[in-house]
Amino acid sequence: MAEREPLKILVVTAHPHDFTHCAATCGVHVEMGDVVSVVSVTGGGLTHNEKLHDELLKPEAERDRSIVEEQAADYMGAKEEELRRVCAIFGIEDVRIFGFRDKPFKNTPEVVRMLREVILEVRPDIIISQSPFLEGPNGMPRGGHDDHLETAYATAEAQQQASIPEFGCEEIPHTVAAVYYPGVYFQPDEIDFYVDVTAWTERRIEAEAAFASQGQSPEFARRRVEVNVGFYGWRAGTASAEGFVRAAPDVVSHIEVSSYALRRAREPRQNHMKRMAGELDS
């Protein structure tokens, strides 16, 4: 069997925390010898500032002035540190934050140019990006402006531009082999495939808890991961999983059945149930 060629993966998100939706999958690939780069187009300065929200609900005399008077640059700086710390949990060193304004974030030529430059530098085989589809979570239409959609559009445009040679320029174009969207942006029956991240569950919880700037306690982080990643795992027949949707169908040389599907078909039902409960290794 031919030796597996290492892959390059580029993750593009709207906000720093969005990376968590595919973090464990990225960890799996880093462990396999692949290289992962992460870009957040905004610093998340106006996203999920729960501490400020709750502080402003208090009578003025009872408010913590350090929270009320915190500057956007300081808040974004904290989020940048959190994202870098989270990426390190999964072995990722190449982390970039463009720092554009969020709420709203706008797809502009400058954003596309910067993403194009990253694509031509990193030359990824795979891009994991925000979903470009208009339907939001739970099948509800997205209301008004959405940072995630704008990020998806900018990423797709940059990807196309990076693949086209320019007259008078000897820069080598680059075509991305495959694009995937995290399943969190889709209905459960729309998921194309799951990645088993059972061995990474605790690190996924650690990553979620690292975003303390968003007011997330360790208890909240654990519950969020158990419900979300656990739900995908339940559907996939394992303890924990992350789901994905392909941007386009794959072309393959023949039909393949995953080792997970074969094992599920052949192993005792009790073993399968124990695997889903996390009692057996995946």
pTM attached to this predicted model: 0.92
Percent of the chain exceeding pLDDT 70 equals 95
Q: What is the 3-state secondary structure (H, E, C) of the chain?
A: CCCCCCCEEEEEECCHHHHHHHHHHHHHHHHCCCEEEEEEEECCCCCCCHHHHHHHCCCHHHCCHHHHCCCHHHHHHHHHHHHHHHHHHCCCCEEEEEEECCCCCCCCHHHHHHHHHHHHHHCCCEEECCCCCCECHHHCECCCCCHHHHHHHHHHHHHHHHCCCCCCCCCCCCCCCEEEEEHHHCCHHHCCEEEECHHHHHHHHHHHHHCHHHCCCHHHHHHHHHHHHHHHHHHHCCCCEEEEEECCCCCCCCCCCCHHHHHHHHCCHHHHHHHHCCCCCC
- Which pLDDT band, with edges at 50, 70 and 90, does 105 fall under? very high
Query: What pLDDT was estimated at residue 4?
Result: 85
- Which pLDDT band, with edges at 50, 70 and 90, does 282 fall under? confident
Mean pLDDT throughout 103-110?
Answer: 94
Length of the chain: 282
Rounded Cα distance between 80 and 178, Å, is 27
The predicted-structure confidence for 165-220, as pLDDT tens digits, reads as follows: 988 888 999 999 999 999 998 989 999 999 999 999 999 999 999 999 888 899 99
Report residue 237 as tokens.
């027949």
Peptide bond into 104 cis (omega under 30): yes
Query: What pLDDT was estimated at residue 50?
Result: 87
The predicted-structure confidence for 51-93, as pLDDT tens digits, reads as follows: 889 989 999 999 999 999 999 888 999 999 999 999 999 999 9
176 close to 154: Cβ distance less than 8 angstroms: no
Query: What pLDDT was estimated at residue 140?
Result: 54
Rounded Cα distance between 52 and 68, Å, is 6
- Domains in the chain: ranges and CATH: 8-251 (3.40.50.10320), 253-282 (no CATH)
Rounded Cα distance between 140 and 197, Å, is 28
